[in-house]
Amino acid sequence: MEHITGAHTNNARHSIDLTSGIWRFQPDVFGNGERMGYPQPTCDIRFWREVSIPTAFDDCLPELRGYQGIGWFRCDFELAEECASQHLSLRFEGVNDQAQVWVNGQPAGSHVGGFLRFELPVAQLLQPGLNTLVVRADNTRRRGEVPGKERGWRPFGGILREVMLDCRPLIRLEHPVIVAEATGVFEARVTVVNDTGEGCEAGVALAILDASGRAVFSSAAHPASVDAHDAARLTIVGIAPHVMPWSPDSPTLYTAAFGLAHEAGFDEISLRIGFRTIERVGHQLVLNGEPIRLRGFNRHEDTARAGMAPDPEQTRRDLQHIKQLGANFVRLCRYPHHPSELDLCDEIGLLVMSEIPLYWWNGDTDGDQPASVKLDAARRQLGEMIARDVNHPSIIFWNVSNETHEQRPEVSADNAALVELAHHLDRSRLATHMSNHWTTTPAFDADDVICVNGYPSWSRRGWGCNPDDDFAASARWWNEHLDTLHRLYPDKPILITAFGYPALHGIANNGVGEDAQDDAIRTEAQAFEKPYVCGMTIWCYADHPWPEETFLNYMTISPFGIVTRDRRAKRALHSIARLYGRTFPPRGAPNLDNAPVVMVRPHLNDIPEVAFPDGYGIRAMRANEGGLWEDIQRDAEPFFTVEPGLFEREFGNDPSAIGRRCYLIVGPDGCAVGTISAWYSRDFKGQDWGRVHWVATRRAHQGKGLAKAGLSFTLRQLARWHARAMLDTSTGRVGAIKLYLDFGFVPDLDQPFAREAWAALRQRLDHPALRDL
């Protein structure tokens, strides 16, 4: 059994990462785990599955795809003797949806809400040496909970985020909050906790540092007197002169460091902050005193690699890509996202809407008690979200609900009550709810900004079963209804928080084609150029898993993204970049030493027949060999870095074709040493062409004629399905170009800078096919 060990050197605050190491998992389909002794350290776990967390049920056993029910997780960990004198608490960043926790066989506590942090004090349950932690996770949907029975995303259950054991001094600082305005004025609040049996006299100081470590503000110690087993809240008000306000164009961050000194010791806690002011002025949204127009995307916390578990690398790439597309705003839908995602938004400069998963709520139709319980759950989650994330300067909106049935009076009243609660908990930000009933029952009296969702193109073409509907009618729909809404609320800005259209990657001339998505988004966006519309947010950035229910004819992946779940771009992406002000300057002359070029073979007759050397051959790829393909490319590629996931991005749109069109060249020992593909380009020059794609040979096997034999085989394969072939290459690959010329390919001179590139190559490659260019 692997034990997780936490080391430390002194009594200072530190955390032990319980996410590392091996955990055990056991499904509990019938809910008998507690009766069978699962919480006890003596439970026989020989047949529990070994897993790593964070993880979803779906990834623990393949049979649990889409599972809704109970699963048990267990780990053993070591606790050092010195830690026993500290305040000890288990911190869970997210267990979906209901969690019960046992430590050494004793109940430690519980929590409901799958996307929010909770902490459990466990000092009385732990012991120096070996300890056992057991977690019961349950993602069963229940009435009266949030989101409860209603949700528009797949409800992955499990321990979806990190688990830590926090070790803190008995006299310590907790719950730091800093409200920092663009002018430099701030209010800082922090709690001094005394878990000892005697009263304590302490002093608390605050320093605010810029990125270089220079103090822009520092205070003398503020006295704090705290009784035994009590806490005191301390407030420090000040001004930091000459600070740089935080904004998307200049996301300047500072470090706020609190220090606590008392007779028995010291504690400190620090956090990153930004000086930023967001407000509504009439029908304008104003950031740091200047009107701002939001250009954004909705993003789910989901990746093909990790599901809803953290995927920091992909999250960073997504957010940077969103920023590169010209966006300044992201709605982190439809639940509180991981705190590290907010950290990234703080760093790169993306404004954020954060929200709780109160979704499609239909009020008292479930009965009075479930409705009341649901409202209480929403209040609790809203409070937990604001308490966790209040120090992130990127967040400008707290959103309290999405597409609820506000034609019901109790739903409308409860949305307003939640907005007022958000105001009460944090007056430095704007509070909203999101409506898709706004054309019939607008109810925005309490909201700072009016947030509306609409899908008129899809409503007409899809749900309305009218595939020939004119997209211009959707723009007229927006124009009419937005003007009506503005007349009702002339002093409030309107934010389009979700609009879009579904598209299947690689599909065109179809109701769910990429061309239709592109047309719908471009046409509808024209209606948003109004002075009272403060921005638009496209639904959505990436395709994501849906519940396996009736959405779009039981599709299990929502196809509304402008990139696929594995992040392949759809056609609308470039149109959106232009909508968002991203300029694409005229393409400059490439580096002629390695310029991209295209070659074509106008027919597939007279293909040279070349056999593989003795011992070598070629075989079809299997769908699970993408990693092997990437390894070969990485070994062979001289010009760029082959990133993980390249194979999926290149070929994942048509997985059924991989076994027909993708090949591995194998050596005498049967190991793969090269790759080549007989792929396709469906719309090259307005026609369907075969495509020779991703030719590579491991360096140790180059010079043996493998590429020549592989190309001969591949062209004969293409001749079965196509009348012509093309390929992409670059002029730095002189040997490859000579091979292609020998096989009847010729330069395609219709591409930008093609003549200049081929003229430069002619100085390095003397070939008859190039002499007449």
CA within 13 Å, CB half, 238: 19
| Tokens of residue 105, six digits | 């066989």
- The percentage of residues in the chain with a pLDDT greater than 70, rounded to a whole number, is 96
Tokens 């606590």 belong to 260
Average confidence (pLDDT) over 191-205: 96
* CA–CA gap between residue 325 and residue 319 (Å, rounded): 10
Give me the pLDDT at residue 7, please.
44
Give me the pLDDT at residue 584, please.
54
- State the first-to-last Cα distance of the chain, in angstroms, to the nearest integer: 70
Counted residue by residue, the chain has a size of 773
Contact present, 350 and 323 (Cβ < 8 Å): yes
Q: CA 473 → CA 204, 433, 480, 487, 560, distances in Å?
A: 62, 27, 11, 21, 20
Eight-state DSSP code of residue 84: G
* CA–CA gap between residue 685 and residue 726 (Å, rounded): 11
User: Pick the residue with more confidence: 16 or 461?
Assistant: 16
Strand-pair category, 70-79 with 4-5: parallel
Residue 8 has pLDDT above 60, yes or no: no
Average confidence (pLDDT) over 269-290: 98
Contacts of 6 (CB under 8 A, 6+ apart): 14, 16, 17, 77, 78, 79, 80, 83, 165, 167
* CA–CA gap between residue 706 and residue 666 (Å, rounded): 10
Q: Please state whether 261 falls in left (phi above 0), alpha (psi between -120 and 50) or beta.
A: beta
Average confidence (pLDDT) over 107-131: 97
State which amino acid sits at residue 70: I
| Tokens of residue 334, six digits | 């439809």
Give me the pLDDT at residue 585, please.
54
Give me the pLDDT at residue 9, please.
41
| Tokens of residue 575, six digits | 């149109």
* CA–CA gap between residue 349 and residue 340 (Å, rounded): 14
Contact present, 186 and 179 (Cβ < 8 Å): yes
Residues 19-48: pLDDT tens digits?
A: 988 999 999 999 999 999 999 999 999 999
Give me the pLDDT at residue 484, please.
98
Give me the pLDDT at residue 3, please.
57
Give me the pLDDT at residue 78, please.
94
| DSSP helix/strand/coil, 620 | strand
Contact present, 728 and 742 (Cβ < 8 Å): no
Contact present, 206 and 215 (Cβ < 8 Å): no
Q: CA 225 → CA 260, 264, 376, 682, 704, distances in Å?
A: 12, 14, 35, 75, 81
* CA–CA gap between residue 511 and residue 509 (Å, rounded): 7
Helices (H), 589-705: 626-636, 646-651, 655-661
- Confidence class of residue 10 from pLDDT cuts 50, 70 and 90? low
* CA–CA gap between residue 694 and residue 57 (Å, rounded): 36
Residues 503-561: pLDDT tens digits?
A: 999 898 888 999 999 999 999 999 999 999 999 999 999 999 988 777 778 888 999 99
DSSP E strand stretches across 362-429: 395-402
DSSP E strand stretches across 387-456: 395-402, 430-435, 450-453
Closest CA to 189 of 29, 387, 332: 387
Residue 425 has pLDDT above 70, yes or no: yes
